[in-house]
């Protein structure tokens, strides 16, 4: 945009300069032409009174002029610069009329002088060089002036374009920062009134988004906090069970739900711009598979796991990875019949990170499962969303013979050695 504005001003300036400088240049050439002819005519007028008098005085006057002058006397002799009697000289002698005639070398001025002995003709020749004297210098001056005005116009246009494009560039940068979750970014109102209004609207939008996001976080945190009361009651009920093993299992499940609620509160209040802490995917997946294996044994499901024997650092928080895997395995238990086998596979990637795959041999996903927040069953449809949010890439596959969910987890810096 800046280049286009500068080009527009340059084109306009050139047209204006041409409209003014070309007529001025032509006028200067005409003025130089007229001045040369006037000088020659003044010389002729000074010699005319002497043309019918003393030849000696006439000769002195002719030789003292700056313009080549020749006086053709009635007896055919000449005084002054040697010259041939041209048709204009003969015509002036015969008709008694002053003439100005164009020749190949310039202009010829002839003035007849009628005397007692006959008609004398005073002839002055003005060359093309005399007619154009000072024109080239004047044109160069005009060209320099035009170039200076053009450069000045370009400088002013560039400054003007910068005052317009700089606020636009700033607005673009602020919008990209807001898109990157930097909600504190604000645009400084600058430039024309329209751009200042846009900057104010963008700042208002950013503030509104920040307020709405803060309110949403507080609502989520508050809702999660309210779950603590029934969880506490559930833990107390578990402690009152007579079977110790059953009490331990129910209490352990209640503790797991409490940890999940705590994680939700922490995530809701976490700064979205802060980088997520990484974790060892091998340790997290191993722990969660062990937790779900107990429930799988109760429902007659065969669990197949393929986990590496080394740490796999990924750029996902441990709580988030655990929640995602719990959501996927929870879907398996909720939407497949008992005794349906499932498998969990974790493998490293060549460039770092990991691939997590959860597969089952159930009826597969409904058609709406690929849509965010959609479900074909009696659920919220958020289980897959939880897994989708932590994955660098997310893929669903499988039909009636089974379902496969594949998550690609971004690599993280190597974890520090345990102390």
Pair (172, 297) in one structural domain: no
Q: Answer yes or no: is pLDDT of 389 > 60.
A: yes
CATH number at residue 105: 3.30.450
357 within 8 A of 404, measured Cβ to Cβ: yes
What digits encode the pLDDT tens for the residues 170-198? Answer: 888 999 988 887 888 898 888 888 888 99
In a domain, 234, yes or no: yes
In a domain? residue 198: yes
Q: Please check whether residues 402 and 339 belong to one and the same domain.
A: yes
* Residue owning tokens 């309210």: 226
Q: Indicate if 326 and 339 belong to the same structural domain.
A: yes
Distance CA 130, CA 114 (A): 29
Within a domain: 418: no
Q: How many domains does the chain have?
A: 4
Residue 13 lies in a domain: yes
- Looking at residue 366, its pLDDT comes to 63
**Pair (251, 186) in one structural domain:** no
Residue 388 and residue 350 share a domain: yes
**CATH classification of the domain holding 328:** 3.30.565.10
Q: Is residue 73 part of a domain?
A: yes
**In which domain, by residue range, is 261 found?**
227-272
CA-based angle 264:266:269, to the nearest 5?
105
Mean of pLDDT over the chain: 82
Same domain? For 201 and 236 the reply is no
Same domain, 279 and 405: yes
Residues 300, 404: one domain? Answer: yes
Which of 215, 244, 272 is the C-terminal boundary of a domain?
Answer: 272
Q: Is residue 61 one of the residues assigned to a domain?
A: yes
Instruction: Tell whether 312 and 279 lie within a shared domain.
Output: yes
249 in the same domain as 168:
no
User: Is there a domain that residue 340 lies in?
Assistant: yes
CB burial of residue 242 (10 Å; 0-12, 13-18, 19+): exposed
Write the pLDDT tens digit of every residue in 360-383: 988 876 655 555 444 444 444 456
- 413 — pLDDT class (breaks 50, 70, 90): low
pLDDT classification of 93: cutoffs 50, 70, 90: confident
């Amino acid at each position: 945009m800046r280049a286009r504005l500068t080009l527009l001003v340059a084109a306009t300036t050139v047209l204006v300069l041409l409209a003014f400088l070309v007529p001025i240049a032509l006028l200067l050439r005409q003025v130089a032409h007229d001045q040369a002819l006037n000088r020659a005519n003044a010389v002729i007028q000074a010699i005319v009174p002497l043309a019918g008098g003393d030849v000696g005085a006439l000769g002195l006057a002719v030789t003292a002029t700056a313009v080549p002058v020749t006086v053709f006397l009635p007896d055919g002799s000449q005084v002054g610069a040697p010259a041939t009697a041209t048709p204009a000289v003969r015509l002036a002698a015969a008709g008694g009329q002053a003439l100005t005639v164009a020749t190949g070398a310039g202009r010829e001025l002839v003035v007849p002088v009628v005397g007692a002995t006959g008609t004398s003709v005073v002839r002055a020749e003005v060359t093309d060089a005399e007619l154009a004297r000072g024109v080239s210098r004047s044109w160069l001056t005009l060209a320099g002036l035009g170039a200076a005005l053009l450069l000045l116009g370009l400088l002013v246009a560039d400054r003007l374009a910068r005052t317009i494009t700089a606020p636009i560039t700033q607005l673009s940068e602020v919008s990209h920062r807001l898109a990157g979750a930097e909600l504190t970014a604000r645009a400084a109102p600058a430039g024309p009134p329209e751009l200042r209004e846009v900057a104010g609207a963008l700042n208002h939008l950013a503030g509104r988004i920040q307020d709405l996001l803060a309110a949403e976080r507080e609502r989520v945190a508050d809702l999660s906090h309210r779950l603590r009361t029934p969880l506490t009651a559930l833990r107390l009920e578990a402690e009152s069970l007579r079977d110790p093993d059953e009490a331990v299992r129910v209490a352990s499940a209640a503790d797991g739900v409490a940890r999940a609620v705590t994680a939700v509160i922490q995530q809701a209040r976490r700064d979205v711009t802060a980088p997520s802490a990484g974790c060892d995917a091998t340790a997290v997946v191993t722990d969660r598979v062990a937790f779900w294996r107990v429930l799988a044994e109760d429902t007659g499901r065969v669990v197949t796991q393929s986990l590496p024997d080394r740490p796999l650092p990924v750029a996902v928080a441990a709580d988030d990875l655990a929640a995602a895997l719990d959501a996927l395995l929870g879907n398996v238990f909720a939407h497949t019949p008992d005794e349906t086998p499932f498998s969990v596979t974790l493998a490293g990637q060549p460039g770092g990170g990991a691939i997590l795959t959860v597969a089952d041999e159930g009826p597969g996903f409904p058609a709406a499962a690929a849509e965010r927040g959609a479900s074909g069953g009696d659920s919220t449809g958020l289980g897959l969303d939880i897994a989708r949010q932590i994955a660098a890439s997310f893929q669903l596959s499988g039909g009636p013979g089974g379902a496969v969910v594949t998550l690609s987890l971004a690599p993280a810096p190597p974890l520090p050695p345990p102390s």
